[in-house]
Structure 1
Amino acid sequence: MKRIILILTLVFFTTVGAFAQLENPVSWAYYGKKISSTEAVVYIKATIEDDWHIYSQNIKPGGPNKTIFTFTPSKDFSLSGKTTEPKPISKYEKVFKMDVLYFENEVVFQQKIKLKKGATVVKGKVEFMVCNDKQCLPPNEVTFSIPVK
């Protein structure tokens, strides 16, 4: 009898763990647009499910994991300035004992680039953490490849 209870307990926790890892409350979309013959803007949009949020790029140390964009170097373009974001929501979070900056529903980040040739593909990754009022999921990383024509 003890053996059956042990097996059922292991199956239950394995199943719950598998479902927790499948939870993905953020989807990403990408778009590149030329604004002149030598400049373009890359748009990186996060759509966030209800009751969840992702954090700004501008989180102070000691807080949650901030959103980080890493662009793969290329001979076809160079970054022009830093990745920008709209004004985030600011709220005190007891867990971190500090004000944190975050986004709900959706957010569009923008990165200007200087083109060294007419068309290119901007590649990179975004690292982010998503939380709700009950839990935070482990930090996640998504790669992107954005054509700019």
Structure 2
Amino acid sequence: MKKLLFVAIAILFSTQLYAQILKPVKWSYGFKKLGKGEAMIFMKATIDDGWHLYSQTVKDGGPIKTTFTFPASAAYTLIGKTIEPTPFTRNEKVFNMDVSFFEHSVIFQQKVKLKTGQATVKGTLEFMTCNDKQCLPPENIEFSVAVK
């Protein structure tokens, strides 16, 4: 009977460990008003140690690059493209190419022109993250930032 109980507990424990989902990147959002009806939207990725998030500039044939998509809005217009700081770049054997990425944290920025005094800036981001042992499937996340 003790053996059966031990096996049942072991199976339950192992399925709980297997069911844990890795989420090595956490996103947060904010804004800063710039004057002249403009604002800067900030999309910050906090990246767990040992993991990296890919740049927006990864070439075809590599990992999925980070991409921001903003739907058309009557409340604001985009000014330029989403900008990022200078990433690390190294050759990754898995992809057989130089790949640009970020570690620890990175803040992406998108300037917008508000058509009224305030707006809710909505968007979708797609990203992929890897460590030295594995890559996780790409994720799509919707976000919104209330600019007041």
Task: State the TM-score, normalizing by the size of structure 1.
Answer: 0.87
Amino acid across the alignment from 2:86: K
Amino acid across the alignment from 2:36: S
Question: Over aligned residue pairs, what C-alpha RMSD do you find?
Answer: 2.0
Post-superposition Cα deviations, 1:7-32, rounded to whole Å, max 9, x if no partner, equal x9x9899656522xx11000001001
C-alpha contact 1:65 1:129 (8 A) present in aligned 2: yes
What is the Cα deviation at residue 75 of structure 1? 0.4
Post-superposition Cα deviations, 1:76-106, rounded to whole Å, max 9, x if no partner, equal 1000000000000001000000000000000
- 2: distance between equivalents of 1:89 and 1:97? 16
Aligned to 2:44: 45
- 1: distance between equivalents of 2:68 and 2:58? 14
What is the Cα deviation at residue 141 of structure 1? 1.3
What is the Cα deviation at residue 37 of structure 1? 3.3
- 2: distance between equivalents of 1:128 and 1:81? 20
C-alpha contact 1:72 1:122 (8 A) present in aligned 2: no
Aligned to 2:73: 74
Aligned to 2:117: 118
- 1: distance between equivalents of 2:19 and 2:64? 23
Secondary structure (helix, strand or coil) at the match of 2:140 reads strand
Identical residues among aligned pairs (%): 54
Alignment of 1:17-96 (within 5 A): 17-19=18-20, 22-96=21-95
Amino acid across the alignment from 2:64: N
- 1: distance between equivalents of 2:16 and 2:28? 30
59 and 13 in structure 1: CA distance in 2 versus 1, 3 angstrom threshold: farther
Aligned to 1:4: none
Secondary structure (helix, strand or coil) at the match of 1:35 reads strand
Aligned to 1:143: 142
Post-superposition Cα deviations, 1:49-84, rounded to whole Å, max 9, x if no partner, equal 000000000000000000000112210100000000
Gaps of 5+ in 2: 1-7
C-alpha contact 1:80 1:112 (8 A) present in aligned 2: yes
Amino acid across the alignment from 1:132: N
Task: State the TM-score, normalizing by the size of structure 2.
Answer: 0.88
- 2: distance between equivalents of 1:13 and 1:62? 36
